[in-house]
Structure 1
Amino acid sequence: MKFGVREICDVVLRAKGTVKVGEATFSNDEPVIYFDSAKTSTVEGSATTVYATGGRGNNKLLAWEGEKAVTFTMEDALLSPLGFSILSGAGLVDATQVNGGMKVHTTLTTVVDVTNVSSSGIVVDLATLTGKTIAEEKAYAFIMKDGQIVERLEPATPSSGSVTFTRKRKAAGQLTGPQTVMVDFYVSVSTGAVEMTIEPDKFGGFYYLEASTLFRRQDNGQDMA
């Protein structure tokens, strides 16, 4: 009987011992992650060959094969925090586990009337514009024109969701009327965010891999798992 294989493998990684990924702990043989959106998967074998040589022409007289390795390569169409952590050894922290919420970087572009900017500064109500809780971390703002930064404003820290920017001392010319302002800041979220930290001394773990696919028989064209 002969078979042909064209389907992608469905893969599951199981823990080979007690292993911690992010805040989750997995016991021996427990499934850690399922890959069911792979695009390609291949298996390649290799070995190191050592020869005994001698005689006229130093011919190869005898061969030994060792250091056998089988490499399974898989390309996944979708990325998940858990999958990335397994590959890179990155630590995972969910926003629900952070007291006071997790800080998430974001930007927005809005139009502000800067007619009285010299006296009151450029005020941007970030909480109203985003509908989110604004973290009290330093924010940065830029005057934009045709998609380019034409002036950088002094950094400022938001308070109660609003932030006031002033022009730098060496800023040239007058700002009048509506101006396009891009703001770089942080929001605070308690759900829907995961932080991944990659450290130089943390590496991917060791897992038992199980893969299943369909084999098509040559004699009757039937698919077999």
Structure 2
Amino acid sequence: MLNLGRYGSRNNLNLQIFDFVSSTPIMTFDYATTTTNEFTGETVYARGGDGNPRRISWSGDKDSTLAVETQVFTLQHLAMLAGEPIEKGAQNIYKSQVVTVESDGSGGKKITLSKAPINGTESVKVFSYVNGIISEPQTVSNVTGKDVTLDSASTIQVGQDVEVYYQFTAANAAKLSYTSKGFPGYVWIAGDTLYADEKAGDVVAVQQVFRKAKLQPNFTVTYSPTGDPSSLSLTFDLFPVLVNGQEVMKEEIIYEDEE
């Protein structure tokens, strides 16, 4: 028989996230920075008599959230927030590149890009590049693979720099679209942690099951080369599910892990 003890916690909650309807696993999430489960409720009182003290209380409006902070995230996290699927396959990528004009060997001028542009000459935009900024536009006469031939009337000279704007095709890519109609769907979550037992001097395994949850759609991703790494905040609203005749929002199980 398991003897319950007096516990302390200094370990994160490692999550398994599943689709609520199909129970299909979405991800194992065992690298969060912190995980916080908060319960709130409202209490109203009947008052009366001298001094108008409280006489009876009623509690209700019980709510719960599971807030997760992570400095490591995946496209699956963002897909849950966006409420849209990840699309895999070839994608067109925008690119800008500063290159030096070369001679084409027959009196003409050319530039060689790191990627092969798509959509022909009209889609490749070339500008003279002076003091770190784009300047005069240059006319493109031909695109062959990665080589771009400039028109003979171009004002740029061999040996000078140009900045080129174009698109290329990445054969292997994953795309997530953030749409106006996409919102997070329902999931259920199992979280594992450890409690330290003060008297037994040991640790016990704990699993917390959140039967129904939905991400709040508000989120911010910060891109910065200074300071701490960017942290993604995920806040799940928790909902009750009927389990053995009871509306259950969370189950907490302490068990002996015999492995």
What is the CA distance between 1:108 and its match in structure 2?
A: 2.2
Partner of 2:256: none
Pair 1:94–1:123, CA change in 2 (3 A): same
Which amino acid in the other structure matches residue 110 of structure 1? V
Q: How many residues align?
A: 195
Separation of aligned partners in 2, 1:141 and 1:56: 85
Pair 1:16–1:109, CA change in 2 (3 A): same
- Is the 1:107–1:182 Cα contact (8 Å) retained in structure 2? yes
Match of 2:57 among 63, 75, 78: 63
State yes or no: 1:212 paired with 2:192: yes
What is the CA distance between 1:140 and its match in structure 2?
A: 3.1
What is the CA distance between 1:197 and its match in structure 2?
A: 0.7
- Is the 1:139–1:184 Cα contact (8 Å) retained in structure 2? yes
Pair 1:46–1:181, CA change in 2 (3 A): same
- Is the 1:11–1:34 Cα contact (8 Å) retained in structure 2? yes
- Is the 1:136–1:157 Cα contact (8 Å) retained in structure 2? no
- Is the 2:99–2:112 Cα contact (8 Å) retained in structure 1? no
Partner of 2:129: 144
Separation of aligned partners in 2, 1:165 and 1:62: 86
- Is the 2:80–2:184 Cα contact (8 Å) retained in structure 1? yes
Partner of 1:185: 166
What is the CA distance between 1:59 and its match in structure 2?
A: 4.5
| TM-score, length basis structure 1 | 0.72
- Is the 1:139–1:157 Cα contact (8 Å) retained in structure 2? no
Pair 1:4–1:123, CA change in 2 (3 A): same
- Is the 1:142–1:149 Cα contact (8 Å) retained in structure 2? no
Partner of 1:135: 118
Partner of 1:123: 110
State yes or no: 1:198 paired with 2:178: yes
CA-to-aligned-CA distance 1:39-75 (integer Å, 9 cap, x gap): 1111111112223344556544332211211211112
CA-to-aligned-CA distance 1:62-108 (integer Å, 9 cap, x gap): 3221121121111222222222101221332101xxxxx32122232
State yes or no: 1:16 paired with 2:20: yes
State yes or no: 1:44 paired with 2:48: no
What is the CA distance between 1:124 and its match in structure 2?
A: 2.7
Which amino acid in the other structure matches residue 57 of structure 2? A
Separation of aligned partners in 1, 2:128 and 2:14: 50
Partner of 2:7: 3
Pair 1:150–1:182, CA change in 2 (3 A): closer
User: Which one has the bigger helix percentage?
Assistant: 1
- Is the 1:112–1:181 Cα contact (8 Å) retained in structure 2? yes
Pair 1:135–1:158, CA change in 2 (3 A): farther
- Is the 2:97–2:165 Cα contact (8 Å) retained in structure 1? yes
State yes or no: 1:92 paired with 2:79: no
User: Which one has the bigger strand percentage?
Assistant: 2
SS at 1:214's partner residue?
Answer: strand
Pair 1:63–1:93, CA change in 2 (3 A): same
CA-to-aligned-CA distance 1:145-165 (integer Å, 9 cap, x gap): 44x314152586974334456
Q: Relative contact order: is structure 1 or structure 2 higher (C-alpha 8 Å, sep ≥ 6)?
A: 1
State yes or no: 1:112 paired with 2:101: yes
- Is the 2:102–2:110 Cα contact (8 Å) retained in structure 1? no
- Is the 1:134–1:158 Cα contact (8 Å) retained in structure 2? no
Q: Give unmatched runs, 5+ long, in structure 1.
A: 18-27, 96-100
